[in-house]
Amino acid sequence: MCGLLGLVCPTEENAGKATNAVANALPCQRHRGPDESDTWHGGEVVFGFNRLSVIDVEHSHQPLSWGPPESPGRYTILFNGEIYNYLELRAELAEHHGATFHTDGDSETIIVAYHYLGSAMVERLRGMFAFLVWDSQRHVVFGARDPFGIKPLYYASGPNGLAFASEKKSLLHLAGTLGISEEVDRRSLQHYLLLQYVPEPESLHRSIRRVESGTSFTVAPGGQLVTERYFSPRFSAREINDEGQAERLHEEIADVMRDSVAKHMRADVTVGAFLSGGIDSTAIAALAKEHNPDLITFTTGFERQGYSEVDVAAESAAAIGVKHVVRTVSAEEMMESLPLIVWYLDDPVADPALVPLWFIAREARKHVKVVLSGEGSDELFGGYSIYREPLSLAPFERVPGSLRKVMGRVSTAIPEGVRGKDLLRRGSLPLEERYYGNARIFRDDQLRELLTHFDPHVSHTDVTAAAYRTSQGWDPVTRMQHVDLFTWLRGDILVKADKVTMANSLELRVPFLDNEVFRTASTIPLEQKITRDTTKYALRQALAKVVPGHVLNRRKLGFPVPIRHWLRDEMHDWARTIIRESQTEQLLDKKAVLQLLEEHRSGVLDHSRRLWALLVFMIWHGIFVENRLTPQIPEPHYPVKL
C-alpha cells in the first residue's frame, strides 16, 4: 500500500525540467508510504513513489523496472495496492511464457503480465490496485484501477502534461507545473450536498478528476487519456427450487469467503482486523483467526448509550478467541481532529463514521501494519435495510400513475417532520427517481434555499442514470445494489476506508470485495438476499458455523456517531464558529446555514446530517481554497518493519 505520482509530459525536455517538481510534490502523501520514497525520470515521464512495504519488504522497491532478455528495463511501474493471486499468476507466466522474475513481490508480476498478456491482463488481477506502466519502447503509459474502486487514482491534464496521483493534494502541488486551474467545481459541490460525497469521476476542483473504478487507460506523451471499462458488474440470479440447492449456494459462499480471507492474509508483516458488532467484520475476523492464532482485533465507540458496539465486539472477540483493543472517542476529540482528517480526505465526505474510524486506525497502527475489514458485504449480499423498501412500497405499484402523481403533490404540502411524509413522497416515485444510493442529504427544494447558484439541471440522475440503464429488467433490489456499487460504495465507503487508514500508514484490505466473491454473490436470487425479517439471508446462513450466535442475526450499527445530540450541546458553539468564520458566501447562504443550526438546537427538526455535510465542506474550503486553516500534519512515526 503506497502513494504514487506520475507525470507524462509532451517532450523529454519537459519531463527533465519537471523532475524536481514531482519530488517536491511527493512529501504531502508521505503518510501513504513512510518506509521509502524515490523518483525516476525516463523519456517523457517522471515517476515518484512513497512506499509502505508489506510484501517482499527487502526488494520490490519502486519505481520498479523490468524487461524481457532482449529489452531489459523496457517497462517501469508505479503500483499502489495488493494483488492477492500474484503467486498463482507468477507460476502461470513462468510455465506458459518462460517469464523470469527478479523480485518476490506482486509489483513485478503486473509488469510481466502486461508484457505477455497485454491490456487484458488487468482482468486476471485479483486484488485492489491503481497502477501506471511506462513502456519505453512504445512510448505509452498503460494503467488501471481495480474493479470496485478500493484504491484511488486522480488525474489532471494541462498544457504541460498529464499527471496521476494517489492523492489529489499532490496534483494541487503540481498545478503550476501542469498549468491547471484550482477553481472549485460548483456542479460537484451540488452533487456533494445531495449525496454527502463527490461522485466519480468528479472532484471538487474543476481541473482534477478521477479514473473510475473498473477502468483501464492508455496515454501517450502529448496525447489524450483513452479509457476503457474492463469490469461491468452483472447480476444473474440462479434458480433455487429446493433445500438442497439452497444449501449448495450457502456452501459456495462459505468456501469462497474462506478462500478470499486466506489470500488477503498474504503479507510479510502483521495482519489484524477491525471488529464491530455485525456479521461482516466478525466473520472476517473469525476466518482470519484460522490463519493467525494471535490475531488482534480493533473496535471503537462512544460513551453514549446506543452509539457503541464495544460490548458486542468484545463478546465476539472473546467467542472467537482473539486479542481485542478498544478505543473510545469523545466529542472534544471529534472537533479537534476534524480539520486534520479533512486534509487527509482530499475531498469532503460527510459521513461522521470516518472520524471514529480514523481513531481506531491510529490505534491499530500501534500494533499491526495491515487490517482486514468488512466493507462491501452489504452491496454484494443485500445488507442495507433500505433494500427492503420495495417490499414496503409494493402496494404503491398497484396505484395508477395519475393518482401517484397526486400523492406526490400531497406529500409536498405535508410539513417537515410529520410521520408519513417521506413514505408518501417515495411511494409516488419510480425507483429511478427515488433511489440514488444510501445517502440523501439535501433535496432540491432545500438546495435552492442554500446555494447561491443552484443549477436545476444538476441531479442525482447524472450519477445513477448509466447504472439504471445497465440494470433494466432486473428486480428492484438488485438494481439498488447495482446503483450502490457505482455510488455509495466507491463514493463514501471505500473513500473513507482508504483515506483514514492510509492517513495512519495502515493498509486496509476488504475480502468481501474480491472477484471470486462477487462471482458467487452475483448469482444469489432475491429471496436469498432480502426477506421481511432480515437482510443478507444467504450470507447469514453460509456463515452460521463461523460467527458467534449473538451476532448472526444482529442488525449492524457500524460506527454510529452521536452528532444529533452533540450538535445541540457540546458541538453547537464550535459549529457556529466554523459557519461564521467560513469564507464561503459566494457559494452558500450562510444565514440559511445558521438557521439550520438553530432549528436543530431547538429540537424543531433534526438537521444533524445536513449540518455535518456543510461543516465538513466549510472546513475543506478553509484548508484547500482559503488557505486559512492549516492543520499540523504529523510526521509518520511508525517503524519501517512491523
Q: Exposed e or buried b for every residue in 296-316, given b needs 16+ CB within 10 A?
A: bbbbbbbeeeebbbbebbbbb
User: Any catalytic annotation for residue 2?
Assistant: yes
Q: Which residues are annotated as a binding site for ATP?
A: 373-374
Give the pLDDT confidence score for residue 1 in this predicted structure. Answer: 62
Superfamily classification of domain 2-229: Aminohydrolase, N-terminal nucleophile (Ntn) domain (3.60.20.10)
List the grid coordinates of 287. Answer: 476466518
Q: How many CB atoms lie within 10 A of CB 336?
A: 11
Give the pLDDT confidence score for residue 423 in this predicted structure. Answer: 80
Q: Can you tell me the distance from the alpha carbon of 1 to that of 484, in angstroms, rounded to the nearest whole number? A: 25
pTM, entire model: 0.94
Among the listed residues 2, 175, 451, 500, the single catalytic one is 2
Q: Can you tell me the distance from the alpha carbon of 432 to that of 460, in angstroms, rounded to the nearest whole number? A: 10
Give the pLDDT confidence score for residue 133 in this predicted structure. Answer: 98
Angstrom CA distances, 19 to 45, 170, 203, stand at 9, 14, 26
Rg (the chain; Cα; Å): 24
List the grid coordinates of 464. Answer: 445513477
Q: Can you tell me the distance from the alpha carbon of 146 to that of 128, in angstroms, rounded to the nearest whole number? A: 5
Q: Which residues are annotated as a binding site?
A: 106, 373-374
Residue 430, H or E segment: none
Q: Can you tell me the distance from the alpha carbon of 274 to that of 288, in angstroms, rounded to the nearest whole number? A: 11
Of 192, 196, 171, nearest in space to 48 by CA:
171
Residues 6+ apart with CB under 8 A from 535: 378, 382, 383, 384, 385, 387, 388, 529
Q: Which residues are annotated as a binding site for L-glutamine?
A: 106
Residues 6+ apart with CB under 8 A from 128: 81, 82, 146, 148, 150, 151, 509, 510, 513
Residues of the chain with CATH 3.60.20.10: 2-229
Angstrom CA distances, 215 to 47, 81, 142, 225, stand at 21, 15, 11, 12
pLDDT along the chain (642 residues), means of 10: 92 92 94 88 95 67 91 96 95 96 93 97 97 97 98 96 97 95 96 96 97 98 96 95 96 98 90 92 96 94 74 90 93 95 97 93 94 97 93 80 76 79 82 86 92 95 95 96 96 96 96 98 97 93 93 69 93 98 98 97 93 98 96 72 45
Q: Can you tell me the distance from the alpha carbon of 592 to that of 585, in angstroms, rounded to the nearest whole number? A: 11
Say how many Å lie between the first and final Cα of the chain, rounded.
Answer: 14
